[in-house]
Amino acid sequence: MRLDLDSVRVALGGRPILDRVSLTVHSGQFVALVGPNGSGKSTLLRTVYRARRPDSGTVRLDGRDLWSVPAAETARHVGVLMQEQHTGFEFTVAETVALGRTPHLGLFDRLTGTDQAAIDDALVRTGLTAFTGRRVGDLSGGERQRVLLARALAQQPRVLVLDEPTNHLDPRHQLDLLELVRDLGVTVVAALHSLDLAATYADTTAVLQNGRLVAHGRPADVLTAERIGEVFEVDATVHDDGGGTRFVLRPRCVCPDERCHWSCRTRRAGVGADAPVS
């Protein structure tokens, strides 16, 4: 499904959080959203799965405004894996993943063979077949994250919205998750803090800064040392040895400039106001 955000504005607490964001994600493409804490990534994702209505501007799926179609229809098409998503800790893994089929069921419908096949497939893909009888509350953070992914996959969405999906996952499971998601062939919008992972797995990278989209394009074009330095207030070097892109970042301090980062101020305070900050 094609996703279009057109001049999306969201204001919260009297302050603009998203400021005229326009972004197109073609059907089957994977876009990574990167940006500093508080830059608006989660808010943008919420507009895509219809949890936050833009104050102005539109979000369209295959050309149709999300807010002009029934919520149930969006729920069928858009799968979500958000940070700190509430899961019923008393439920088993099998029961939790089965919830992914809810948008496809009527009020009193029971699971059909098609539903069960989607659930089983999601459990296999996420390596959870041995966990089906376990209580979600007894799982580790990383295992629970995989259960939430499995629930989203069982839904068989056409658009997948992921907020920091690699949280809690060890390096191997981070790679497994992103390869799995990329290979699904559905449209993916994922907020990622790891620039390495964004550069490796995304077709395009969108950079948010203070609620504004400051760049969107191929990772190699967008994730330049200069832009990363500017947006994240770091000194960055980009290494590409043909086996993948790697970013080396160091905190940048521009003290006593007014943009002096709080961490630099803290370090200065700790080592003496006149000490140089590197």
Ligand X SMILES: Nc1ncnc2c1ncn2[C@@H]1O[C@H](COP(=O)(O)OP(=O)(O)OP(=O)(O)O)[C@@H](O)[C@H]1O
Give every CB contact of residue 37 below 8 A, 6+ residues apart in sequence.
none
- Side chain identity at residue 177, one-letter code: L
37 binds ligand X (CB under 6 A): yes
> Near ligand X by CB under 6 A, which window of 32-40, 133-141, 220-228, 246-254?
32-40
What is 198-261 written as a DSSP string?
A: HHHH-SEEEEEETTEEEEEE-HHHH--HHHHHHHHTEEEEEEE-SS-EEEEEEE---TTSTT--
From first CA to last CA, the distance across the chain in angstroms is 47
209 binds ligand X (CB under 6 A): no
198 binds ligand X (CB under 6 A): no
55 binds ligand X (CB under 6 A): no
For ligand X, the closer of residues 95 and 196 by Cβ is: 196
Number of residues that bind ligand X (CB under 6 A): 11
Among 41, 146, 151, 173, binds ligand X (CB under 6 A): 41
Q: For residues 103 and 154, what is the distance between their CA atoms, to the nearest angstrom?
A: 11
155 binds ligand X (CB under 6 A): no
88 binds ligand X (CB under 6 A): no
Give the dihedral sign, CA 177/182/184/187: positive
194 binds ligand X (CB under 6 A): no
For ligand X, the closer of residues 100 and 165 by Cβ is: 165
* Distance of closest approach, residue 44 Cβ to ligand X, in angstroms: 7
> Near ligand X by CB under 6 A, which window of 34-42, 64-72, 114-122, 233-241?
34-42
Positions of E strands within the chain: 3-12, 15-25, 30-34, 56-61, 64-65, 78-81, 159-163, 187-191, 204-209, 212-217, 234-240, 245-251
167 binds ligand X (CB under 6 A): no
For ligand X, the closer of residues 149 and 190 by Cβ is: 190
Residues of span 2-21 touching ligand X by CB under 6 A: 12-13, 17
42 binds ligand X (CB under 6 A): yes
Q: For residues 152 and 160, what is the distance between their CA atoms, to the nearest angstrom?
A: 8
For ligand X, the closer of residues 13 and 243 by Cβ is: 13
* Distance of closest approach, residue 137 Cβ to ligand X, in angstroms: 24
The CA distances from residue 255 to 231, 248, 268, 278, in Å, are: 17, 22, 9, 10
52 binds ligand X (CB under 6 A): no
Give every CB contact of residue 22 below 8 A, 6+ residues apart in sequence.
5, 6, 7, 8, 57, 213
Q: For residues 180 and 223, what is the distance between their CA atoms, to the nearest angstrom?
A: 23
Among 4, 30, 31, 40, binds ligand X (CB under 6 A): 40
For ligand X, the closer of residues 43 and 96 by Cβ is: 43
Give me the residues that bind ligand X (CB under 6 A), please.
Answer: 12-13, 17, 35, 37-43
